[in-house]
Chains A and B, each alone.
Chain A
């Protein structure tokens, strides 16, 4: 049985009151609930405050480059079925620098759980606008207000009918942990976009701001109804739905990539006879 304690206790470099703390706790709870032992878990991250998450967990980690959590996660998933692959990073990392990879992941639908810490700001670089910052919101780098409209990752993921799309709020740890468990149990791409206050740089989307607006989707909501999901996905403002927005039945990428994710490539050895035949095809 895996326990929360297996995942260790680390001192973090996050600000007191930052939403990342609760996400870390929820993730540990979820991993224990999933009965994944540390050596069976692989956290792949980019760069940013959120991306430091793997540093604070006792498990395998690939802490790569800014914006690039999904490509190595995909490569690792294709190469090694022995570990559960979870990508963790911020909104800037996933939707800005890594936007093309996010789109490609939605197209592929690999068996990866993506935890996108969405604080609607760049934390690590001290408060510039992120792709999810509201239009008009002022920052030091956008003193006249962010000129673009925010990217809606949920709507795009629903549009692509990936396996699982949820929105969560870091302020409700228990609910978040449950959503992570559901995401990780889904074969195929599972996006959990987690609203997370950045106490240092986002003075608009505060804990109170989210708390006031987030409401849980009820029993009556059917996440397999695509039309309804499209509508819910665009709800963001005075009211913000949290919970499973969409649950699809697209087959995971690994079903299509030849040999992908089924064989452990580390055990591969050259079949010399077969290679000799291949060579002869050039004669």
Chain B
């Protein structure tokens, strides 16, 4: 566990502004050059309930969430009651007057005095927190100025005064809390991004210009980011009447020349499934951002789970190829979203990016992405040599036929959900069926040929190998580090693509380890079963979490105790 990291937990009711405080503080830390990892826990209600915004931060890389708390910012009594036990030694509670925090070290902030109006409370809290961590006032000052710049000079001035008072007030208090170690040099200009924002930016970088969606937590912020930031980049978007419409609309747009995607979560995706088959047989490119939350049905609507791997893998009737990308970090969200658009265009078959609530809301400090270094995403054709002879479904060795956009040439572009001949006309004869089916399925070997290999962190022949996919990466990396520090030989194998799979990329690692343990955020070990089905390899043990909370190092370590 990172010795230098501290964990700040802001808790309160929805509507009390805890996300604002959390975001301001996170941004200040990112600007100061610290590493951050944010875990958000909220409930399915707009006001009330108990919500938390946890910022784990420090000068060294941070892999994931932590249960123990160093600074507990309590916006209500419930926060103290629920999290007091998680407070670490030397930890401090930051709370307004009237909140009871007996036997804890407590900074009782006179909010009424520091923040003459309730709207200043967020800034007062920022001042108190920043000062507690011995943060630089200048960074906070600039952040507050920028945040309120749109509201005019008066508002900025008033907020800066509150910030100053709150910051100075802490200095006069008698309490002990160790300052944060200085931030490393060279981290200037980093971005503060959560997984969903990174997915949206990756999509825009790939030229995504069409989105149809129906809102569903925790996917909605991908759509909101695409709309909010993509409008000026030429993105056309529509909130569809339901998910069925969303995917069909995206496919119509894609057929007609757009670079299309949909954003959804479990139940919404379930409604899209017939459309996935339509994409499969019409060979129409589409990227499906599937941000998982615990099911079945409505499940735990605001919590996290890696429970929909099987759903994405088998979604759709009939047989057709697909690819499933599973980013483990915010950076990977960007790059895999970008890659997804290229893959779906080149192979003309649906491509999934599978994330989850934890990663969706996980703010990180990331280097700005190097846009010039990104490969060009491939595009459909706007012209063909022989328009009269154009065949949308021309048979080919790799299964890919020339995809032409209608309206640009005299060629006619016919796509059909019925089995069709090379021109796109219904043709139900057995020979044609076999030829077209084989053509579509042939793309699978092409997709397999460019699977992203799983990444190994640590030695090749460890005593313990942790196998994870998607957002499970952080917890496993932290566990590996902790156990390595204890002198054990531990490594992590992370899959950022879970379909198709290529045995040669990972079997040597699985076979070279003494003990192999699968780590997944679901109750049945869906990925382990997939590996077993594909390779016959059986894990020595499993660490599974399905209580709605993200995998973290403490959880995995505890579960490992009973395994190894």
Chain B: residues with Cβ within 8 Å of the partner, total of 72
For chain B, residues 424 to 471, give those with C-beta under 8 angstroms from any C-beta of chain A.
Answer: 424-426
> Given A279-B368, A281-B229, are A259 and B405 neighbors across the interface (CB < 8 Å)?
no
Contact pick for B192, options A68, A275, A282, CB 8 Å:
A282
Residues of B within 8 A of A257 (CB): 236, 238
Is the pair A80, B251 in contact by a Cβ cutoff of 8 Å? no
Smallest CB separation, A181 vs chain B (Å): 21
The yes or no answer to B503 lying at the interface (CB within 8 A) is no
CA distance A279 to B189 in the complex (A): 11
Chain A: residues with Cβ within 8 Å of the partner, total of 59
Is the pair A278, B259 in contact by a Cβ cutoff of 8 Å? no
Is the pair B408, A82 in contact by a Cβ cutoff of 8 Å? yes
Smallest CB separation, B74 vs chain A (Å): 29
The yes or no answer to B212 lying at the interface (CB within 8 A) is yes
CA distance A222 to B51 in the complex (A): 60
Is the pair B415, A61 in contact by a Cβ cutoff of 8 Å? yes
Residues of A within 8 A of B407 (CB): 39-40, 42, 60, 80, 82-83, 264
Contact pick for A42, options B229, B240, B406, CB 8 Å:
B406
Is the pair B251, A64 in contact by a Cβ cutoff of 8 Å? yes
Q: Which of B192, B241, B246, B278 has the most CB of A within 10 A?
A: B241
The yes or no answer to B294 lying at the interface (CB within 8 A) is no
Is the pair A74, B238 in contact by a Cβ cutoff of 8 Å? yes
> Given A40-B407, A260-B236, A275-B205, are A265 and B248 neighbors across the interface (CB < 8 Å)?
no
Is the pair A63, B417 in contact by a Cβ cutoff of 8 Å? yes
> Given A61-B415, A79-B210, are A268 and B253 neighbors across the interface (CB < 8 Å)?
no
Is the pair A283, B189 in contact by a Cβ cutoff of 8 Å? yes
Is the pair A79, B418 in contact by a Cβ cutoff of 8 Å? no
Is the pair A65, B405 in contact by a Cβ cutoff of 8 Å? no
The yes or no answer to B371 lying at the interface (CB within 8 A) is yes
Q: Which of A38, A77, A80 has the most CB of B within 10 A?
A: A80
The yes or no answer to A9 lying at the interface (CB within 8 A) is no
CA distance A71 to B251 in the complex (A): 9
Q: Across the two chains, which residue of chain A brings its CB closest to B418?
A: A63
Is the pair B416, A71 in contact by a Cβ cutoff of 8 Å? no
Residues of A within 8 A of B246 (CB): 71
Is the pair A266, B240 in contact by a Cβ cutoff of 8 Å? no
Residues of A within 8 A of B414 (CB): 54, 60-61, 63
Is the pair B425, A78 in contact by a Cβ cutoff of 8 Å? no
For chain B, residues 238 to 261, give those with C-beta under 8 angstroms from any C-beta of chain A.
Answer: 238, 240-242, 244-246, 248-260
Smallest CB separation, B558 vs chain A (Å): 36
Is the pair B372, A75 in contact by a Cβ cutoff of 8 Å? no
Could you give, for residues 258-281 of chain B, a 1 whenever the CB lies within 8 Å of some chain A CB and a 0 otherwise? 111000000000000011001000
Smallest CB separation, A206 vs chain B (Å): 28
Residues of B within 8 A of A61 (CB): 412-416, 424
The yes or no answer to A156 lying at the interface (CB within 8 A) is no
The yes or no answer to A1 lying at the interface (CB within 8 A) is no
Residues of B within 8 A of A82 (CB): 406-408
Smallest CB separation, B4 vs chain A (Å): 24
Residues of A within 8 A of B257 (CB): 79-80, 264-267
Could you give, for residues 69-93 of chain A, a 1 whenever the CB lies within 8 Å of some chain B CB and a 0 otherwise? 0111111111110110000000000
Is the pair B412, A75 in contact by a Cβ cutoff of 8 Å? no
Contact pick for B240, options A104, A268, A269, A276, CB 8 Å:
A104
Is the pair A271, B233 in contact by a Cβ cutoff of 8 Å? yes
> Given A74-B252, A278-B229, are A283 and B417 neighbors across the interface (CB < 8 Å)?
no
CA distance A75 to B407 in the complex (A): 15
CA distance A205 to B31 in the complex (A): 73
Is the pair B258, A75 in contact by a Cβ cutoff of 8 Å? yes
Residues of B within 8 A of A72 (CB): 248-249, 251-253, 255
Could you give, for residues 41-77 of chain A, a 1 whenever the CB lies within 8 Å of some chain B CB and a 0 otherwise? 0101001000010110011111111001011111111
Residues of B within 8 A of A283 (CB): 31, 189-192, 368
> Given A39-B407, A44-B252, A80-B406, are A278 and B236 neighbors across the interface (CB < 8 Å)?
no
For chain A, residues 199 to 235, give those with C-beta under 8 angstroms from any C-beta of chain B.
Answer: none
The yes or no answer to A280 lying at the interface (CB within 8 A) is yes
For chain B, residues 198 to 221, give those with C-beta under 8 angstroms from any C-beta of chain A.
Answer: 201, 204-207, 209-210, 212
Is the pair B416, A73 in contact by a Cβ cutoff of 8 Å? no
CA distance A271 to B406 in the complex (A): 24
Is the pair A101, B245 in contact by a Cβ cutoff of 8 Å? yes
Q: Across the two chains, which residue of chain B brings its CB closest to A37?
A: B410
> Given A39-B409, A42-B406, A82-B408, are A282 and B232 neighbors across the interface (CB < 8 Å)?
no
CA distance A156 to B424 in the complex (A): 35
CA distance A231 to B86 in the complex (A): 70
Contact pick for A265, options B259, B275, B406, CB 8 Å:
B259
Contact pick for A274, options B232, B372, B409, CB 8 Å:
B232
Q: SS class of chain B's interface: helix, strand, loop or mixed?
A: mixed
The yes or no answer to A143 lying at the interface (CB within 8 A) is no
CA distance A231 to B260 in the complex (A): 42
Could you give, for residues 80-97 of chain B, a 1 whenever the CB lies within 8 Å of some chain A CB and a 0 otherwise? 000000000000000000
Smallest CB separation, B337 vs chain A (Å): 13
> Given A75-B254, A79-B210, are A58 and B248 neighbors across the interface (CB < 8 Å)?
no
CA distance A260 to B235 in the complex (A): 9
CA distance A77 to B212 in the complex (A): 13
Smallest CB separation, A29 vs chain B (Å): 20
For chain B, residues 96 to 114, give those with C-beta under 8 angstroms from any C-beta of chain A.
Answer: none
Could you give, for residues 241-271 of chain A, a 1 whenever the CB lies within 8 Å of some chain B CB and a 0 otherwise? 0000000000000000111100111111111
Is the pair A73, B252 in contact by a Cβ cutoff of 8 Å? yes
CA distance A164 to B374 in the complex (A): 47
> Given A63-B418, A65-B278, A258-B236, are A268 and B368 neighbors across the interface (CB < 8 Å)?
no
The yes or no answer to B402 lying at the interface (CB within 8 A) is no
Is the pair B406, A280 in contact by a Cβ cutoff of 8 Å? no
Could you give, for residues 509-532 of chain B, a 1 whenever the CB lies within 8 Å of some chain A CB and a 0 otherwise? 000000000000000000000000
Contact pick for B253, options A79, A104, A275, CB 8 Å:
A79
Is the pair A268, B212 in contact by a Cβ cutoff of 8 Å? no
The yes or no answer to B49 lying at the interface (CB within 8 A) is no
Q: Which of A77, A258, A263 has the most CB of B within 10 A?
A: A258
CA distance A280 to B413 in the complex (A): 40
Is the pair A39, B233 in contact by a Cβ cutoff of 8 Å? no
Is the pair B258, A265 in contact by a Cβ cutoff of 8 Å? yes
Is the pair B254, A60 in contact by a Cβ cutoff of 8 Å? no
Smallest CB separation, A109 vs chain B (Å): 13
Residues of A within 8 A of B238 (CB): 74, 78, 257, 260
Smallest CB separation, B215 vs chain A (Å): 15
Smallest CB separation, A283 vs chain B (Å): 5
Q: Across the two chains, which residue of chain B brings its CB closest to A260?
A: B236
Is the pair B253, A78 in contact by a Cβ cutoff of 8 Å? yes
> Given A63-B415, A65-B275, A282-B197, are A71 and B256 neighbors across the interface (CB < 8 Å)?
no
The yes or no answer to B135 lying at the interface (CB within 8 A) is no
Smallest CB separation, B26 vs chain A (Å): 12
Q: Residues on A close to B: CB < 8 A?
A: 37-40, 42, 44, 47, 52, 54-55, 58-65, 68, 70-80, 82-83, 100-101, 103-104, 257-260, 263-272, 274-276, 278-283
9 A-B pairs whose Cβ atoms sit less than 8 Å apart in the complex = A38-B412, A39-B407, A60-B407, A61-B415, A68-B275, A78-B238, A100-B242, A257-B238, A265-B236
Q: Pick the 3 closest A-B CB pairs, nearest first.
A: A72-B252, A266-B257, A82-B407
Q: 17 other contacts beyond A42-B406, A71-B246, A281-B229, with CB at 8 A cut-off?
A: A59-B412, A61-B415, A64-B278, A73-B252, A74-B252, A78-B238, A83-B406, A83-B407, A259-B234, A259-B235, A265-B257, A267-B257, A268-B209, A271-B233, A275-B204, A275-B233, A275-B371
